[in-house]
Amino acid sequence: MSILEKYNKAMDNKDEAAMNEVLHDDYSFLMHKSGNVLKKAEVIKWAMSGDINRDKVRVIYENDEIGIEHAFVTFDDGNVEAVMAVFKYKDGKIISLETGATPMPK
């Protein structure tokens, strides 16, 4: 199973243990839309909260160093975004994630 397959399965199942396994301890998540940077524990807490609902997730490209995917994300506040995500890998885990988001009409 690829790194993104493991990550997506953990996200879909809200599996905290699997998220801890697939994310590197030095993980950081840069959200270009807001400029916010979240660390591993913050991202896992957010992912477990149920606020992130992804649809039509598709892996665009993946190798041993990087993964790129696109998804439509609906948040609890009703906002929907088309999200392009770039994952960088280190030691077989995700070390960083950067996203660009385009708001979609409600």
pLDDT per residue as tens digits for the range 67-80: 999 999 998 888 99
C-alpha dist (Å) from residue 70 to 20, 37, 47, 91 = 22, 20, 17, 24
Please state, in angstroms and rounded to a whole number, the distance separating the CA atoms of residues 90 and 105: 36
pLDDT per residue as tens digits for the range 45-60: 999 998 889 999 999 9
Q: Which fold has domain 3-104?
A: Nuclear Transport Factor 2; Chain: A, (3.10.450)
At residue 95 the predicted structure's pLDDT band, cuts being 50, 70 and 90, is very high
* HSE, side-chain direction, 13 A CA sphere, residue 54: 20
Domain boundaries, given as residue ranges, for the chain = 3-104
